[in-house]
Amino acid sequence: NWSMETFVDKEIQRIRGVVGETGRVIGAVSGGVDSTVAAVLMKRAIGDRFHAVLVDHGLMRLNESKNVKKVLDEQLGINLTIVDASESFLGKLKGVTDPERKRKIIGNTFIEVFEEQAKLIDAEQSEKIEYLVQGTLYPDVIESISFKGPSATIKSHHNVGGLLDTMKLKLIEPLRELFKDEVRKMGLLLGIPADLIWRHPFPGPGLAIRILGEVTPAQISIVQQADHIYMSELKANNLYNQISQAYAALLPIRSVGVMGDKRTYEQVIALRAVESTDFMTADWFDMPVKVMKRISSRIINEVHGVNRVVYDVSSKPPATIEWE
C-alpha cells in the first residue's frame, strides 16, 4: 500500500544509494514548486553535498531572489548559491525584440552561467560534482517520450539539459514518477511553506517574455511593480488560489491619457489570468469587476509610466498563456 511517507523514504534511500557516501550533486532552483521540492529531498538525502544554484537573470519578480534566499537558505537550510548575472543577461538582450531570440539568448546564457558556477563550486571541493538534479515531472517524461506538446514546438522551452553533455553530469530526477498534485503533497510533507507550494508557475525566461519588445531595466521595473500590485490584490481578495496562473504583461504601445490637468502618453499593462488543469489548454478567468477596478486604478496611480490597463480575454488555444 502506497503512501507519500514511504515514497519519500524510499526515494531518499535510492538517492543515497546512487550518489554514495561522498558524491556531490548540483541543481538549479527557481523558487518554484518543483525545483524546491527536489532540492529539499536532496538535502534530506545527502545534506550539504547537494548544491543549489539560483541564477538571477534580472528577470525575476519583485524581490524574488531575496525571498528565495529567505525560504530555501534560511528556512529550509539548503546549501544555496545565488549568482547575480543580470548584467550579462540584460547586456545580451539589448536591442532584441523577437520572442524566440529572447528565449534562445536566455536559455544559452543560463547554461553558461550555471556551468561557470558549477566549476567554481567544483574547484572548492575535493570531490567533483557528478550529478545534476532536475525536477522533471511524470507529464514531462511522457511528453518527451511520446509526443511534443504544443508549447514545446511553438515556443522553445528553457531547461538545463545541455549541461549533461558539456559537464558530463549524470541525471537524477526524483520527481519523475509524480504528477503535480503529488509533488505539492510531497512538498507539504517535507515542510515547505504552503504559499510556495500553491504558487502559480513562472516561465524560465521570466519577465523577458512578459515585456513585449525590448527588455530594459526601466521596463523590468514597470512590469515588476504592476505584477506585484496585481498579485497582492488577488491574494487580498482570495482569488489567487482560484486561478491557475496570473501575471501582468507590459505592452510597449503608447496611448494618450490625462492625469490631473496634464496630458500623458504612456504604456499599457495587460492583465492575464487563466484557469487550466494541464496548461495545454486554458480558459480566461472570470475576474470580479470590483477587483479589476481596484487593480487597474492602483496600477495606473502607483506605477510610473503606465496610463492604461486592459484585461486579456483570450483562451488557449488559439492564444497561448504567455504573450511571447
CB of 4 to ligand XMP, least distance (A): 25
Geometric angle at alpha carbon 62, from 307 and 246, rounded to 5°: 70
In 3-state terms, what secondary structure has residue 71?
Answer: helix
CB of 81 to ligand XMP, least distance (A): 21
In the chain, at which residue ranges do the beta strands (DSSP E only) sit? 24-28, 50-56, 80-84, 129-133, 170-172, 245-259, 262-275, 283-284, 306-311
Tell me: is residue 213 an annotated ligand-binding position.
Answer: no
CB of 168 to ligand XMP, least distance (A): 25
**Residue 272 grid cell:** 492575464
| Burial class of 91 by CB neighbour count within 10 A (0 to 12, 13 to 18, 19+) | exposed
Torsion (CA) 37, 284, 145, 39 in degrees, nearest 10: -10
Cβ(36)–Cβ(73) below 8 Å: no
Window 272-291: contact mask with ligand XMP (x via CB under 6 A): -------x------------
Window 123-162: contact mask with ligand XMP (x via CB under 6 A): ----------------------------x---x-xx----
Of positions 76, 204, 227, 308, contacts ligand XMP by CB under 6 A:
204
109 binds ligand XMP (CB under 6 A): no
203 binds ligand XMP (CB under 6 A): yes
Tell me: is residue 34 an annotated ligand-binding position.
Answer: yes
**Residue 104 grid cell:** 534562445
CB of 104 to ligand XMP, least distance (A): 11
Window 304-323: contact mask with ligand XMP (x via CB under 6 A): ------------x---xxx-
136 φ, ψ (degrees, to nearest 5): -70, 130
Tell me: is residue 36 an annotated ligand-binding position.
Answer: yes
**Residue 221 grid cell:** 521595473
CB of 317 to ligand XMP, least distance (A): 9
Tell me: is residue 32 an annotated ligand-binding position.
Answer: yes
Nearer to ligand XMP, 15 or 54 (CB): 54
d(CA 79, CA 89): 24
Question: What's the Rg (C-alpha) of the chain?
Answer: 21
Tell me: is residue 277 an annotated ligand-binding position.
Answer: no
Known binding residues for ATP are 30-36
Residues in contact with ligand XMP by CB under 6 A are: 151, 155, 157-158, 201, 203-205, 245, 279, 316, 320-322
